[in-house]
Structure 1
Amino acid sequence: MTPSIPDFPHALVTRDARGVYTLQIHDAKSLNILASAVTLGLTDAVRWIAAQEDARAVVIRGAGERAFVGGADIHEMAGLDPQGARAFISRLRDLCDAVWRIPVPTIARLQGFCLGAGMELAAACDIRLGSPDAVFGMPEVRVGIPSVIHAVLLPGLIGQGPTNWLLLTGETVDAAQARDWGFLEFVAKEGELDSLVERTASSIAASGPLAVRSQKALLRHWTESTIQDGLDRSVDAFGEAFMTDEPRRYMAPFLTRKQRGVGA
């Protein structure tokens, strides 16, 4: 039996019949600002979703259309001492780590501003889809602090040069530039971001659930392993896939089409 969804502060969680979960930031000011209370509520929600066996994919989005996340709470940060600063950024690290470790594909729905901690949160997702009006930036140096935690993922996503430009200038770029750099997989046409997100989630939900989880685990492993180690783990994962009947069930429609003379 599918468990009921708990109430989480600052997070609205929904689930559809396919097992596609949506996590929406809630009650975090108009730009979905990540204050500590918001960060803690979101982290609890992410960890709960990650533990759900029926989960097939997770969409992460901001409330409204003005922003995905406009950044961390500058009002809170302005009053920090060194110890408090370490605790503050560790909470944000825990949130991004929790998203990174979700065992099913994560889709970042990026509308409006995606700045600082918002860009880091999006970087921790598997697939990033943006609206044409989206704005991306890492403005931390403009307020006297370095960009840290999951900014470490940016060189692997967009290259060292673009990362240098973003983090050292504090400037922003539009969705087209973010796509050209490789941060966004696609930019939706005006008014079609939700359709793009749905098409992506539908493709994931139509695939073998165990295979998708295995594939995501491999993708994560490949980022941290040598090529040889990654190849060895891939062979193991392929063999493990046949420990259940999922390959047979999901291959059957293709075999039927072949027998009828229809291409795969």
Structure 2
Amino acid sequence: MDMLNPHCGIDRDLRGVVRLTICDAGKLNIVSSAVTDGVRAGFEHLASDPTIRAVILAGESERSMIGGADIKEMAKLDQKSAEAFITRLRDLCEAIRKFPAPVIARLPGWCLGGGLEVAAACDVRIAAHDAMFGMPEVRVGIPSVIHAALLPRLIGWGRARWLMMTAENIDAPTALAWGLVDTVAKPGGLNEAVEHTVKALLECGPEALRIQKDLLRQWEELPLTESVNLSVGVFGKSFLTGEPQRLLRGFLDRKR
């Protein structure tokens, strides 16, 4: 593993798949300001590489991808420093949302608070069979903010309210039923489940996937009619990449 900085390790295979590992963040992979900045810097460093096909975001241990934000650091905050702290986490989530290639969240163990916000910012969430999810902020006197705003879009307003206002945790099967995660792995099969999704992504046109991710991000914020009309121009521009011509011709040749 190559270390981009003390909190961000990178492994890259010959397919262009990168595993970005959050490092030196404790047993539960807790994000302090330093860890948040390090991981964000990793995504920003990789974003300019057009040969990256997918990123797997993982924790250093099997107890969590991100267990939550650093309670010890937060206990010392005042209004100004609290806003600086949460802005850092917002910027990490935005770096993931704006990353050109698909980002897969690999989710063993606990995924709480800021960890769930980061997971929500990823494109695909793959959970271990015994993973647990929750938004415990209100129990320590703070609201769930920033990319918790993605949760109603993922699981609906009622379930998002329940998750954020009761601070109760849910297990992996519940998270799957709610649409909070996309896949729950078999026991011992988390890496296999991640690899299954990686292979599916690699079968797609790399430029088409990048265009699709960007379009989906815009659809999250645009009214329906604008989303539909925007898509017309995006569809046309996709033919400038040469990818549709090559892949459509390959499909037709296989049908013969």
TM-score per shorter chain, which class? over 0.9
Relative to 1, partners in 2 of residues 1:164 and 1:244: Cα closer, same or farther, differing over 3 Å? closer
Tell me how far apart the structure 2 counterparts of residues 21 and 235 of structure 1 sit (CA, whole Å): 32
The percent identity for this pair of structures is 51
In structure 1, what is the equivalent of residue 143 of structure 2? 146
What does 1:46-57 correspond to in 2, within 5 Å? 46-57=43-54
**TM superposition shift of 1:45:** 0.3
TM norm structure 2: 0.96
In structure 2, what is the equivalent of residue 171 of structure 1? 168
Q: Please, which of 247, 253, 256 is the counterpart of residue 253 of structure 2?
A: 256
In structure 2, what is the equivalent of residue 205 of structure 1? 202
Tell me how far apart the structure 1 counterparts of residues 207 and 241 of structure 2 sit (CA, whole Å): 9
Q: Does 1:192 align with 2:189?
A: yes
Tell me how far apart the structure 2 counterparts of residues 51 and 257 of structure 1 sit (CA, whole Å): 34
Query: Would the aligned equivalents of 2:126 and 2:184 in 1 still touch at CA under 8 Å?
Result: yes
4+ residue stretches of structure 1 with deviation over 4 A?
none
In structure 1, what is the equivalent of residue 119 of structure 2? 122
What does 1:14-93 correspond to in 2, within 5 Å? 14-93=11-90
**TM superposition shift of 1:253:** 2.7
For residue 23 of structure 1, what is the amino acid of its counterpart? L
**TM superposition shift of 1:7:** 2.0
**TM superposition shift of 1:252:** 2.8
In structure 1, what is the equivalent of residue 4 of structure 2? 7
For residue 49 of structure 1, what is the amino acid of its counterpart? L
Query: Would the aligned equivalents of 1:9 and 1:42 in 2 still touch at CA under 8 Å?
Result: no
Deviations 1:87-137 (A, max 9, x none): 111111111111111111111011000000000000000111101110000
For residue 193 of structure 2, what is the amino acid of its counterpart? L
**TM superposition shift of 1:141:** 0.9
Q: Does 1:230 align with 2:236?
A: no
**TM superposition shift of 1:138:** 0.4
* Matched position secondary structure for 1:21: strand
* Matched position secondary structure for 2:4: coil
Tell me how far apart the structure 2 counterparts of residues 88 and 21 of structure 1 sit (CA, whole Å): 27
**TM superposition shift of 1:206:** 2.1
In structure 2, what is the equivalent of residue 106 of structure 1? 103
* Matched position secondary structure for 1:161: helix
Which deviates more, 39-48 or 201-210?
Answer: 201-210
**TM superposition shift of 1:49:** 1.5
TM norm structure 1: 0.94
Query: Would the aligned equivalents of 2:3 and 2:9 in 1 still touch at CA under 8 Å?
Result: no
* Matched position secondary structure for 2:10: strand
Query: Would the aligned equivalents of 1:56 and 1:104 in 2 still touch at CA under 8 Å?
Result: yes
Deviations 1:58-104 (A, max 9, x none): 11111111111111000011111111111111111111111111111
Tell me how far apart the structure 1 counterparts of residues 253 and 71 of structure 2 sit (CA, whole Å): 59
**TM superposition shift of 1:6:** 6.2
Where does structure 2 lack aligned partners over 5 or more consecutive residues? none
Tell me how far apart the structure 1 counterparts of residues 189 and 19 of structure 2 sit (CA, whole Å): 17
* Matched position secondary structure for 2:34: helix
Q: CA RMSD in A?
A: 1.1
